[in-house]
Structure 1
Amino acid sequence: MNIKHLMPISVVTLLLNITAVAVAPVGICYGRIANNLPPPTVIVNILKSNSISYLRLFNTDPATLQSFAGTGILLTIGVPNEILPFLASSANNAALNWLQSNVFTNIPANQVRYIAVGNEIFHKDPFYTPHLLPAIFNLHQALQTLGLSDSIKLSTPLAATVLANSFPPSSGTLDPHLRSDVVPLLQFLQKTQSPLMLNVYPYFSYINDRTHVSLDYALSRLENPVLDGSLQYRSLLDANIDALVYAMEREGFEGLPVVVTETGWPTSGGEAANVENAAAYNGNVLTQARNGVGTPRKPGIELEVYLFDLFDENEKVGEEFERHFGIFGVNGVKAYDLRFN
């Protein structure tokens, strides 16, 4: 089987070591490329009423950040790709000033869990690759200056295309063309005890090659498992995560945690994009995370996963299904039955 059949086009999970918060280690992404989103107070109510305590934002919109201040919701805050060159500059304490002006004036530091620097840079915005690590280094130094480098971790969400091989998972290896950029990133993550972030969409793998990827495998409910030595895979999500784990181990980074920063299934607009499949996929992800079963390669290790997306995004470009990942309607009602607690 060709490895491209298993890895999604777009590219999420960290060991959750929180004992004080008795909730499932699952969050949700809040994409805002839409013109019909409800006001912040409604969004906070949706999250709280569904016991969602972890949220990923894709930028530092002040009003959005301020709406979550004091709610107890823990945030992963995104740094837009286009400002990486600015943050990579050391002039006038650019990174420190940016953090203070754009983040900590709007949200208490104790509500910031991660800062996701850029998004899928190597995959969709390679122009910014030279700026990624310098920006991360400068932001880390700024967090150190503020005394926050132990509590707020820095990373960057990667697409699954950082792997050259992914099937079977035990053959996972980095793309040799990206290795010179990815390995220094892994070194930083290991040194700072930060997670590797991965965006994983089995849906894309399925629609791109239905001949080799079954719907049940993509939906994490395969009855007859795919074998990899002594390990059994009933879930393409598990296989994708473990392929990355193996690839990191090959580079000498054993034990580096992984956070799934995006995964989900569309409800409309494409092949197999419907409410039933979205409910099945996201429900299986929630069950796996809530039960702490881990993956075949890392059994019993809890996964921190961020489901995509809070709402449909009606102004998103691309294929029609890209606009239909919403788990909730803009009226706050779930598009399908999905229990976070």
Structure 2
Amino acid sequence: MICGQGLVKEVKGLACNWGTQSTHPLQPNIVVQLLKDNGFNKVKLFEADPGALKALGNSGIQVMVGIPNDLLAPLASSVQAAINWVQQNVSDYVSKHGVDIRYVAVGNEPFLKTYKDTFLQTTFPALQNIQAALIKAGLAKQVKVTVPLNADVYQTDSGLPSGGNFRPDIHDLMMSIIKFLSDSYSPLTINIYPFLSLNADPNFPKEYAYFNGSAAPVVDGSITYTNVFEANFDTLISALEKNGFPSLSVIVGEVGWPTDGDPSANAENAQRFNQGLINRISQGQGTPKRKTPPDVYLFSLIDEDNKSTQPGNFERHWGVFNYDGSIKYQLV
């Protein structure tokens, strides 16, 4: 059932998300082979799934391992809890299974407005404690901490990227986290979803969601933006510049396009968007404000039929592969 031909064989540095919320998941060793066969050399897990981590051992694939939001409170309240977590979910896999863990993602979009401040008090202390645990384990040089955040943590009053700044309600907290990441030579991770921009606003110019679109460009001073991905990313860079962190490393933790569950969600649109994204990565293309391209984690590898459909029916259909590992559309 696995597609034999490579999906995106030639692209170096292409990363993806491996979600495991499936009722009939593929065997982890098959998924790892799928990653290798299709040019992915970096992967992000949303939790320290033992099967996935063991299968990634000695694979040549770099791993970002996630900590779910429901663990933030216990990790924030106890350094020992963080030490235990790192021992069980990082150190043991690195030393016993040869897993190339490069990042620990503390939480997942914890400052989403829909969470109503649930994780505002626990995310930063959990981040600090995990970093302390990595230092104690002797892993802090090779394994960096990060916090994957939704792009709603920043905004622009002017409607232009140059007006970017962090949300007023979390501005001070974001500054604390960003300074901490900067001091520990760690990246900020941001999730950008042009599909959701299109989905949320009936007046959104559809072509602006794609990389080869024919939408009217957005002119911001001397810079012209032709797609929302670049404009959104540079809104973040403007916010970082404005607050004294112009060179902080940034990772795009999730970006992609679903194939079902919404009028705009189909294989044709997903192929168009993801091919444009992959072309950028393979050409080493950054954005007007960051010429060096960030690491980009495609969302996602495989459909997940056990995900909540509360955000929309499309939520289960982000994969470039079907549940059984068969390919949905060709990317080159």
Decide: shared fold, TM above 0.5: yes
Deviates more, 1:139-148 or 1:183-192: 139-148
Structure 2 SS opposite 1:295: coil
Letter in 2 for 1:221: N
Candidates 216, 222, 231, aligned match of 1:230 = 222
The equivalent residue for 2:118 is 127
Percentage of pairs with the same residue? 37
Whole-angstrom distance in 1 between the partners of 2:166 and 2:323: 40
Instruction: State whether residues 11 and 278 of structure 2, in contact with CA within 8 Å, keep that contact through their aligned partners in structure 1.
Output: no
Deviation, structure 1 residue 163: 1.5
The equivalent residue for 2:317 is 324
Q: Does 1:216 align with 2:207?
A: yes
Deviation, structure 1 residue 138: 1.0
The equivalent residue for 1:205 is 197
The equivalent residue for 1:86 is 74
Structure 1 SS opposite 2:122: helix
Candidates 170, 182, 190, aligned match of 2:182 = 190
Whole-angstrom distance in 1 between the partners of 2:200 and 2:81: 42
Deviation, structure 1 residue 107: 4.2
How does 1:148-297 map onto structure 2 within 5 Å?
148-165=139-156, 167-211=159-203, 213-223=204-214, 224-297=216-289
Give TM-score scaled by structure 1 length: 0.88
Give CA deviations for 1:45-104 in whole Å, capped at 9, x if unaligned. 11111121111100012122111111121111000111111111235x221111111333
Give unmatched runs, 5+ long, in structure 2.
Answer: 1-9
Give CA deviations for 1:113-153 in whole Å, capped at 9, x if unaligned. 11100011111442122111111111111111122111111
Structure 1 SS opposite 2:17: strand
Deviation, structure 1 residue 26: 1.7
The 1:136–1:290 alpha-carbon spacing in structure 2 relative to 1, beyond 3 Å, is: same
Deviation, structure 1 residue 25: 1.8
Structure 2 SS opposite 1:127: coil
Instruction: State whether residues 43 and 64 of structure 2, in contact with CA within 8 Å, keep that contact through their aligned partners in structure 1.
Output: yes
Instruction: State whether residues 268 and 274 of structure 1, in contact with CA within 8 Å, keep that contact through their aligned partners in structure 2.
Output: yes
CA RMSD of aligned residues (A): 1.6
Give unmatched runs, 5+ long, in structure 1.
Answer: 1-21
Instruction: State whether residues 68 and 107 of structure 1, in contact with CA within 8 Å, keep that contact through their aligned partners in structure 2.
Output: no
Whole-angstrom distance in 1 between the partners of 2:47 and 2:140: 20
Deviation, structure 1 residue 192: 1.1
Deviates more, 1:259-268 or 1:94-103: 94-103
How does 1:99-118 map onto structure 2 within 5 Å?
99-108=86-95, 111-118=100-107
Whole-angstrom distance in 2 between the partners of 1:140 and 1:96: 9
Instruction: State whether residues 16 and 298 of structure 2, in contact with CA within 8 Å, keep that contact through their aligned partners in structure 1.
Output: yes
Greater relative contact order structure (CA < 8 Å, 6+ sep) = 1
Candidates 31, 44, 61, aligned match of 1:56 = 44
Structure 1 SS opposite 2:93: coil
The equivalent residue for 1:11 is none
Structure 2 SS opposite 1:88: helix
Deviation, structure 1 residue 23: 5.2
Deviation, structure 1 residue 225: 2.2
Whole-angstrom distance in 1 between the partners of 2:25 and 2:49: 14
Instruction: State whether residues 65 and 107 of structure 1, in contact with CA within 8 Å, keep that contact through their aligned partners in structure 2.
Output: no
Give TM-score scaled by structure 2 length: 0.91
Candidates 76, 83, 99, aligned match of 1:96 = 83
Instruction: State whether residues 195 and 256 of structure 1, in contact with CA within 8 Å, keep that contact through their aligned partners in structure 2.
Output: yes
Instruction: State whether residues 63 and 99 of structure 2, in contact with CA within 8 Å, keep that contact through their aligned partners in structure 1.
Output: no
Structure 2 SS opposite 1:185: helix
Structure 2 SS opposite 1:177: helix
Q: Does 1:70 align with 2:63?
A: no
Whole-angstrom distance in 2 between the partners of 1:107 and 1:331: 29
